[in-house]
Amino acid sequence: MNNFLLLPIIIPFFFGMILMFGQKNISYQRVTSLVGLLISIVCAFLLLLNVYENGPQVVTFGDWPVPFGITMVADSISSLLVLTTLTLAFFIVWYGFKSIGKEREQFFYYPGVMFIITGVNGAFTTGDIFNLFVFFEVLLMSSYLLIVLGGEKAQLRESIKYILVNVLSSAFFVITVAFLYSVVGTLNMADISIKIAELNQPGILTVIAVLFLLVFGMKAAIFPLYFWLPSAYAAPPIPVLALFGALLTKVGVYAIMRTYTLFFTHDLAYTHELLLILSVITILAGCIGALAHFDVKQIIIYNIVIAVGVILFGVAQMNEVALEGAMFYLIHDMIIKAALFMLIGIVIYVTGTTNLRKMGGLMKTYPALGWFYIIAAFGLAGVPPLSGFVGKLLIVQGGFEAGNLWSSVFILASSIAVLLSVIRIFIYAFWGEQGTISPNVNPSTYKGLFIPTMLLVFISVAYGVGTEWITPFMDHAAKMLIDPSIYTDAVMKGGE
């Protein structure tokens, strides 16, 4: 009985509600949402320390015994993800002050952000498979609002596709949960894990595992199911894009990670082999997309697909090193994607175009922007002192340990494609002749955009340099992932 773990979910939810009042008062909206996020960040940080010292925190709603009530579980995996989510949301909201525009701010943009954070944090923390579905819907509903808010032509067109795909995958989710419920007869994730271990995962459960991969793969954009992502993410304005790119696909990745390490661990030769193959093709597809485009937004969007592939490759290895790497890479990727989207948002603001071929020579006028971009780009590719290095190193090491020699080499090779795709932005936009410059660049707006971005890049650098301090938390998380009994014990005992 420990309600503290609910605070990072309840506080954004509460602030979302009170933001529905005073819709036209922009300063009230801005201050309230920042204060709400700050309080939640403090709570999430305390929660992380608490989980690290005292093990997983469990609360079952309404004082019901465990498999019968809805359980919320905060282990090191979810508390790390919750803290990252809230921190990113803080910087993205701050960045949005100067770029989202008055009309959107006055029309429930901030409540939308708060509710999306509620959904994401809830999905990371829940211990009940149907509750996971509900939190998915909470975050998807809010994302529908944010993607269409503003009502530009492209937004209307892409939101129809986005909603269609997500309604379909949500229906599949319900069907899959129905199948699972009819086989194991429970919805509590710890209880499902125990029941599946007792049944020793017969064929029907492997089918359900593949169905879950289909459902969560649609949310996380893995290879044959990523078709909706590039055009849908290009439509909304930059802060919304940063929020989506950093958080939404990662919830799907987390769900695959959770189901494939907690539930379906008895037929690795089939399920995890499938995950491995799909993740390798996902990386390939992402690399092709990232190298093919001359549109800055599209290049970074395809890098989301690549990162999803890399993380799932780590999950598919099912050994402690690779899972620790996957956790490192997951958090790194959330931070760096938000930073990169914010950086190219500034580039688009100062040049007034998304086309790389029209840009050039920004290094002379905006040297600081150029340097921060190059740091973030090296971080994304995984250059040693920076944040992407350790995760990928551990993933590849885990791949070698599991005997997947060629696919691990492929992961290393894909880093070159990632580096090439982001360095191309640097070469085209920052070097060479002076390209187009937007005529109405306001220095104070530029500063307002640049400061949160700069701080976020600093955080990503600190994440890379301070690996030593973060490793204990990641070790903790990897142990949880490799040994489901820690999770099930914590939940089942917590109910007594």
Partner 1 sequence: MKTNDVILQFTAKIVFFIIFFYAVHIFFAGHYTPGGGFVGGLVTSSAIVLLIIAFDLKTVKSILPINYLYLVAVGLLLALGTAAFSMFVGEPFFTHFFDYFNLPILGKTSLHTAALFDLGVYLVVVGVTMTIIQTIGDDE
Buried b (16+ CB within 10 A) or exposed e, 351-381: bebbebeebbebbeebeebbebbbbbbbbbb
Based on CB atoms, which residue is closest to partner 1, 14 or 227?
Answer: 14
Contact 107, 29 (CB under 8 A): no
Based on CB atoms, which residue is closest to partner 1, 52 or 107?
Answer: 107
Query: H or E element: which one contains 234?
Result: helix 229-234
Least distance (Å) between residue 79 CB and partner 1: 17
Based on CB atoms, which residue is closest to partner 1, 37 or 196?
Answer: 37
User: What DSSP character marks residue 266?
Assistant: S
Q: Does 21 bind partner 1 (CB under 8 A)?
A: yes
Based on CB atoms, which residue is closest to partner 1, 60 or 155?
Answer: 60
Q: Which stretch binds partner 1 (CB under 8 A): 3-11, 201-209, 214-222, 274-282?
A: 3-11
Based on CB atoms, which residue is closest to partner 1, 13 or 162?
Answer: 13
Based on CB atoms, which residue is closest to partner 1, 107 or 431?
Answer: 107
Q: How far is CA 365 from CA 343, 368, 433, in A?
A: 15, 9, 12
Q: Does 496 bind partner 1 (CB under 8 A)?
A: no
Based on CB atoms, which residue is closest to partner 1, 6 or 348?
Answer: 6
Q: Does 118 bind partner 1 (CB under 8 A)?
A: no
Q: Kindly report the number of other CB atoms within 10 A of residue 116's CB atom.
A: 27
Least distance (Å) between residue 330 CB and partner 1: 27
Based on CB atoms, which residue is closest to partner 1, 16 or 360?
Answer: 16
- Interface with partner 1 (CB under 8 A), residue from 8, 12, 13, 299: 13
N- to C-terminal Cα distance for the chain? 10
Based on CB atoms, which residue is closest to partner 1, 6 or 296?
Answer: 6
DSSP assignment string, 347-408: HHHHHS--BGGG---HHHH-HHHHHHHHHHHHHHHT-TTSTHHHHHHHHHHHHHHTT-HHHH
- Interface with partner 1 (CB under 8 A), residue from 20, 175, 199, 204: 20
Least distance (Å) between residue 63 CB and partner 1: 5
Least distance (Å) between residue 44 CB and partner 1: 17
Based on CB atoms, which residue is closest to partner 1, 18 or 284?
Answer: 18
State whether the Cα torsion 126-127-132-134 is positive or negative.
Answer: negative
Q: Kindly report the number of other CB atoms within 10 A of residue 332's CB atom.
A: 27
Dist. CA 67–CA 489, nearest whole Å: 12
Dist. CA 339–CA 92, nearest whole Å: 9
Under rule CB under 8 A, which residues in 206-235 are in contact with partner 1?
Answer: none
Dist. CA 273–CA 390, nearest whole Å: 24
Under rule CB under 8 A, which residues in 45-104 are in contact with partner 1?
Answer: 59-63
Dist. CA 155–CA 293, nearest whole Å: 20
Based on CB atoms, which residue is closest to partner 1, 23 or 206?
Answer: 23
Residue 441 makes CB contacts below 8 A (sequence gap 6+) with: 349, 350
Contact 337, 245 (CB under 8 A): yes
Least distance (Å) between residue 173 CB and partner 1: 22
Query: Residue 188: helix, strand or coil by DSSP?
Result: strand
Based on CB atoms, which residue is closest to partner 1, 4 or 458?
Answer: 4
Least distance (Å) between residue 329 CB and partner 1: 33
Based on CB atoms, which residue is closest to partner 1, 60 or 453?
Answer: 60
- Interface with partner 1 (CB under 8 A), residue from 1, 200, 368, 444: 1
Q: Which stretch binds partner 1 (CB under 8 A): 20-28, 48-56, 210-218, 329-337?
A: 20-28
Buried b (16+ CB within 10 A) or exposed e, 178-200: ebbeebbebbbbbbbbbbbeeee
Task: Count the residues of the shown chain that bind partner 1, applying the rule CB under 8 A.
Answer: 16
Contact 362, 347 (CB under 8 A): yes
Least distance (Å) between residue 306 CB and partner 1: 39
Q: Which stretch binds partner 1 (CB under 8 A): 13-21, 177-185, 323-331, 393-401?
A: 13-21
Least distance (Å) between residue 13 CB and partner 1: 7
Dist. CA 181–CA 192, nearest whole Å: 9
Q: Which stretch binds partner 1 (CB under 8 A): 8-16, 134-142, 238-246, 426-434?
A: 8-16
CA-based nearest residue to 24, from 102, 81, 97, 87: 102
State whether the Cα torsion 153-337-255-211 is positive or negative.
Answer: positive
Least distance (Å) between residue 81 CB and partner 1: 20
Least distance (Å) between residue 5 CB and partner 1: 10
State whether the Cα torsion 172-178-183-188 is positive or negative.
Answer: positive
Q: Does 10 bind partner 1 (CB under 8 A)?
A: yes
Q: Which stretch binds partner 1 (CB under 8 A): 1-9, 330-338, 358-366, 458-466?
A: 1-9
Q: Does 25 bind partner 1 (CB under 8 A)?
A: no
Q: Does 14 bind partner 1 (CB under 8 A)?
A: yes
Contact positions toward partner 1, by CB under 8 A? 1, 3, 6, 10, 13-14, 17-18, 20-21, 23, 59-63
